[in-house]
Structures are given as C-alpha cells and as structure tokens.
Amino acid sequence: MEFKANWIRPAKDLGDVCPVFKKEWKIKKPLKKVELYLTALGVYEAEVNGKRVSGYVLAPGWTAYEMRLQVQRYDVTELVREENILTVIVGRGWMRSPMPGFVEAEYKKKRMEQPCGLWGELHLTYADGSKEVLASDETWEYGESAVRFSEIYDGEHYDATFDTTLWSHALRLDWQTDILMMQEGEEIREIERIGAKSVFETPAGERIVDFGQEITGYVEFCVDAKAGERIRILHGEVLDKNGNFYRDNYRDAKAEIQYICKEGGQTYHPKLTFFGFRYLKLEEFPKKARPEQFKAVVVCSNIKKTGHLSCSDPDVNQLFSNIFWGQKGNFLDIPTDCPQRDERLGWTGDAQVFVKTATYNYDVEKFFTKWLHDMAAHQRKDGGIGQVIPDLLDAGNPSAAWGDAAVICPWQIYQTYGKKQILEDQFDCMKKWVDYITGATTVPYLWAGGEHFGDWLGLDAPSGSYKGSSREEFIATAFYAYSTQLLVKAAKVLGKDAGEYEQLYQNIVETFRKTYPEYLTQTEHILAVHFRLAKDLQKTADDLAEMIKRDGSQIKTGFVGTPYILHVLSEYGHSDLAYTLFLRKEYPSWLFSVKQGATTIWEHWDGIMENGDFWSADMNSFNHYAYGSVADWVYEKAAGIRPLEEYPGFERVLIKPMADKRLNWLEASIDTRNGKIASKWICTPDGIRYEIETAVPAEVEIGDMKMEVAPGTYTFWG
C-alpha cells in the first residue's frame, strides 16, 4: 500500500508531558467505510469522538525501530459521525524511555532524546465509490494531554482535572517512512482482570493491596474524591519476611502511579505503560481503601492457550500455574526476562531455553516470527547476535547459548507448527550466526575466546560468580555443534546444499571429543548427552545420575543445563531420579519457590531463602520464566507426548508416558496445528491406566508394548 502521510511532531518541547494530537474533519457525503492507519515514535492511545479505536494497548509495540516500525489498521466506521475528532496521545514507550536502566551510554542518551512523532492516515471510502485520504501533516494540531508523565520504568502521572484547551499546529518531522510495515506481531491486549484479594496494613503501617497473583499489566482503581486530591501508588512483587512492602529488587525503576483526582466518582488505569506486580503500596489514597476498588488488569500479547497440565499434587499444579503465568507476564510483544525492574529486555538466552515450552503452552508462531524478524534486522555485520533483541546492548559481546537463539528458536517454531516459512525467513540469519562463531574462534572447530555467560546462575558457581563452574568454552563449543547441526537440518528441509556445514559439524564433534574427554559438572554431562557429543551417551548419562546422587539428589545447574537435565535422565533409564528432582520440595528445586508462596517462576532457585532473606536486591526477579522450561519435560516425558522431527507440526507423534507412583495421576494435552493430543495416566490398585487421545496417527509405547494407532481415543493398562 502506498502511503501519503508525513511524520509530525509538537512545535515545541513539552518536557515530560505526553502530547495529544488532533485531527478534525466533517463527512461530506454518505460513507461506506473509514479506516485509520496509525503508528508513533513511542506508544499511543487513539480515540475517535471520545471512543477507543481498538483494544490494542501499547501500540505500535516494540520492534527494531531503526529498521522496522509497525503500522496498525483500524476500521473506525462505526465511530464516525457528521463532525469528527481523532485524538492520539503519545508516550515515550520503549523507544524513548531510558532503556536499559543499568547502562549509561551515548547510544542510550540518543534514543531518549529522539523527538515524539506521529504518523497517520484516515482513509474515507464513500458510498459512491470515491475515496479521500486525510494524512498527517501541518494541519493536524497538538496540545498537552492529561498524561503529565509516562515511561516504561518509572510509571505514569495523570491529572484528571486537566483539559486540553490550547492547541497549536504540528510541525513536520524528518523521519524515515521506508521502515514502516503493517502490523506483523500479535496485538497487545488486556486479557483478564483480577480483583484484589485484600487490603491490609503491614507491621510498618503501610497500606497494601494484594491481588494474590503476580501479573504484568496495571491496576485499575475507582474512587470517590474531591478535585485536587492526590493518589500515589507503588508496585511490588513480594513482602519481606516481616510482612512489610518490598521493592528494592526493582532497582532504579520507580514503577509509580501518580493521579490527581477530579470531583466525584472516577475510574482510572495507566494508558501508556505497564508494571510487573502482585502488591500495591498506597502511599496516598483518599479515604479508606476497599478491595472492590482495585482490579489488576493483565496485559500481554494476544496469544492463544494451547497447552494443559494437571496432576494429583497441589504443589505441582501451582508450579504449572506459575509457568503459564510466567509466560503471560513476559510475552508482552517480545519475550522479556522480567516485567518489573529497570530491564524488561528480550534476552536471547532466556527465549531459547524456554521456546519449546512456550510453543506447547500457547500459540506463539506469530509472536516469535515477528521477534525473529527483528533479530535478523539487528544482526550485526559480522553475523553476531546481540544479548537482547531488540538490541539495546549493542556494545555487548555475543554469547554462546544466547546468540544460538538465532538457530534454536526458528527450528523449534518449525517443529511445533510445521511451516517452512520461518526457516526460509531466518535461514540467512541462522547461517550468519554459525559463520560468526567460525570466524570468531581462536581455535578451529571449537569456540575458543570471546566472552560468555556460561551456565548462568548455576548453583555450582565459585564464590562471587554468576556463571556456574562449567567451562565456558565447553558450553560454547557444545552450542556451536548444536547450532551447526540444526542449520544442516534446516538446509535440508529447504532443499539447500548443506555439505559444507555437515563437514563442519563432524569436525566440531571430533575436536570436541578430543578436547573434552572428561566432563566436570552436571551441566557438562547434560550437554554432552543431549547434544549427542559424548562418545558413549549411556555411560555419560549414568555418570550424570551418579553425580546428581552424590550431590544429594539435587540440581546444580543454571540457565544452560536446567532445561535438559530431566530429559537426559529420562531418556537413558533414570526417570525415577528425574521425578525425584522434579518433585523435590526442599531448596534447590522447582517446588521450593512454590512452598515459599510463588505465583510465577523465579530468577533464582532461592530468590527468597529458607530463612526469609532475599538472595539479593540487584538481580532478583520473581517473574522470570526461564526455569519454567521444565514444562516441556512434563509434556514430552512424564505425559509422553513426543513430536517426531520428521513429522513437523505434530503430523505424527510418539506417545510414550513415564508414570511415577509418587503422583496418583498426571495429564497433559496440546492443541496442535493438526488437532488435540492428550495423555493421562492414573495409578490404581490394579495397575497404571493410560488414557490417550490423538488427532493424528501415533506410535504408542507403554512398557514392552509398542503399537501404531489411528486417530482416536484409547485406554491401555501397564
């Protein structure tokens, strides 16, 4: 589509105040349709004649703005009258906020100083077939809005007594239009509202609102107040061990709402920002606050739930809930690490370790397609992939297991949804990443040199380190091999010549085996087996099992080893030990945080320690989805729903459940592109009953029984 609009901006700097742009027009003859095309440098909220044009919030979302900026199309025909006013408030959003909060650099300062900009067109189609376009230009006006301040980290200030009465003509803004593209990702939506569970006073005398669930979004409150009365609200994830409000882990993010009341009853929620929180601290609030005055509005990308997990253990069910909530809370237009502190970035390592679970829990094909296109756009000239996408850390060195998201994520999207297009789109990016490693290493066929995150947050880390004790170059070379192997597979799917990379893969494996004849940590054993690099896979898995038992039957792994540890144990005859780790309730374990009251997945196994103290204040998120990757083991091994690589999109599956009598029953299902696959096992006095539902042909393995079944519902005993 050919557009005519110009970028426009306020004629003067409004400081912290968010501008509101206005276009007035009259309808000259009978209308058939009115469409609004809109985007902004920042985030916006648009109304026609006082009514929202869409439920899309935080539009236009977050992309690699320098190269890709989404345009939204809205059908506003039903909102149009004879005389009309379009208004658009524009906030800083991701583009012009001080992101990331922990970096001070010239490129960050430059982003923050970018001007506010709006681009839009109204397309009027008349009943007689004629058309008219009202494109943004100097005839559009702007003024100060009631949003007196808004940005991603620090929150929003709103003055309900303010009316925009002074309007001036906008100026043209010299900004690119060749970067504009129609909406590609999922829209960000308000998907749920949760009422407050309680309002109470802490031992320190603080007024606290508790929603009983950590969410990403914002609070909506109603109040009866006098004009000029002020409301001030702070957000927090947890209480401290004394039951007082805690927010040190937000670091420099103020995460604050300030609201100046108008006279009488009123309802408000922030328009142009979001928060991660469970608790609110009411610093200022008129009269006595009651639970019914507050609702937590859950905001995330409009992804459809496709997975279901449930079992007989309430603690494990809470873990499942935490995993789903962690994904919702961090899938807000990009896969973020956390939604609350002065970060909220698209960390590539977090995304790749969780991508399989993500695709089973929700339909994220569209979501990841857009993010991976941003990754390709931000790929560096030498083929390196930034630590975060969009790449706001452009001075950061590419790291193994983080940059490998360039290969792992598109391959998984292809495997789950069965469409080659994602591999077509990303193949050059995948190839350039492998070539980057080949060019960056100081030793051929290893990934030597460079800077890496290692087994991030591994519990075997030496004192003072976050990186675990696994050798960084071991991890880097293992992922070098894995990404090369996946690149070869992708090339074959696309009918491309993979000979050069097949040879490269063989050379990496041979060199790896010579260089690393022994494995020193749990994670080193895990990677050697899972990536099929060890000469003797069974022995290495057995050695891993013995090491875990010597370690007290507990995990020592971090971000790199944790996603695969239970898979390796289950695949090589140690499913009982896998269940021991999975069902463990003492620290360290998945269920330790559950016993501590978690409602989402934590960044650290002991974010809140056994004595009630916090792990730290500087890096301690209580909504960090990466360790929720254990869910793909529950789907694939515990419940036994195993997609077959040669049949992408679940065209055919292997169903091979692994029951454990420490649970009375367990069930899982995935709504795939080819229909629902479900598996349940129940421990009874007569044995274990297996109930299977499959919409596709399936290979079933239960104990020594192996058979092929057509689509249908089946019951087996084992």
**What is the full DSSP assignment across 272-294?**
S--EEEEEEEEEE-SS---GGGE
Containing H/E element for 371?
helix 365-378
Question: Which residues, at least 6 apart from 500, have a Cβ–Cβ distance to it below 8 Å?
Answer: none
- The answer, yes or no, to whether the previous bond of 390 is cis (omega within 30 of 0) is yes
Q: Name the active-site residue from 45, 156, 256, 343.
A: 343
What is the identity of the amino acid at 459? L
Q: How many residues does the chain have?
A: 718
For residues 375 and 678, give the distance between their C-alpha atoms in angstroms, rounded to a whole number: 34
Question: Which residues, at least 6 apart from 495, have a Cβ–Cβ distance to it below 8 Å?
Answer: none
For residues 45 and 188, give the distance between their C-alpha atoms in angstroms, rounded to a whole number: 12
For residues 348 and 628, give the distance between their C-alpha atoms in angstroms, rounded to a whole number: 16
**What is the full DSSP assignment across 303-369?**
PEE-EEEEES-HHHHHHHHHHHHHHHHHEESEE-S-SSSS----BHHHHHHHHHHHHHHEE-HHHHH
Side-chain half-sphere CA neighbours of 645 within 13 A: 7
For residues 481 and 402, give the distance between their C-alpha atoms in angstroms, rounded to a whole number: 14
User: What is the token pair recorded at 361?
Assistant: 């829990």
Q: Which residues of 352-375 are buried (b: 16+ CB within 10 A; e: fewer)?
A: bbbbbbbbbbbbbbbbbbbbbbbb
**What is the full DSSP assignment across 96-149?**
HS--STT---HHHHHHHTPPPEEEEEEEEEETTS-EEEEE-STTSEEEE-SEEE
Q: How far apart are the first and last CA of the chain?
A: 60
| Chain center to CA of 433 | 22
Containing H/E element for 575?
helix 575-583
Q: Name the active-site residue from 144, 603, 636, 667.
A: 603
3-state secondary structure of 713: strand
For residues 347 and 363, give the distance between their C-alpha atoms in angstroms, rounded to a whole number: 20
In 10 A of CB 252, how many CB atoms? 11
The answer to whether 361 and 601 have CB atoms below 8 angstroms apart is: no
Instruction: Write phi, then psi, for 48 (nearest 5 degrees).
Output: -115, 120
For residues 338 and 329, give the distance between their C-alpha atoms in angstroms, rounded to a whole number: 8
Active site residue 343: yes
Containing H/E element for 155?
strand 155-159
User: What is the token pair recorded at 116?
Assistant: 């506010």
- The answer, yes or no, to whether the previous bond of 30 is cis (omega within 30 of 0) is no
For residues 44 and 699, give the distance between their C-alpha atoms in angstroms, rounded to a whole number: 51
For residues 424 and 443, give the distance between their C-alpha atoms in angstroms, rounded to a whole number: 31
Measuring CA to CA, which residue among 695, 685, 687 is closest to residue 716?
A: 687
User: What is the token pair recorded at 32?
Assistant: 């058939």
For residues 623 and 213, give the distance between their C-alpha atoms in angstroms, rounded to a whole number: 11
By CB neighbour count within 10 A (0-12 exposed, 13-18 middle, 19+ buried), where does 515 fall?
A: middle
- Distances in Å between the Cα of 378 and the Cα atoms of 58, 93, 165, 429, 698 are 22, 19, 42, 10, 41
Q: What is the DSSP letter of 242?
A: T
Enumerate the active-site residues: 343, 603
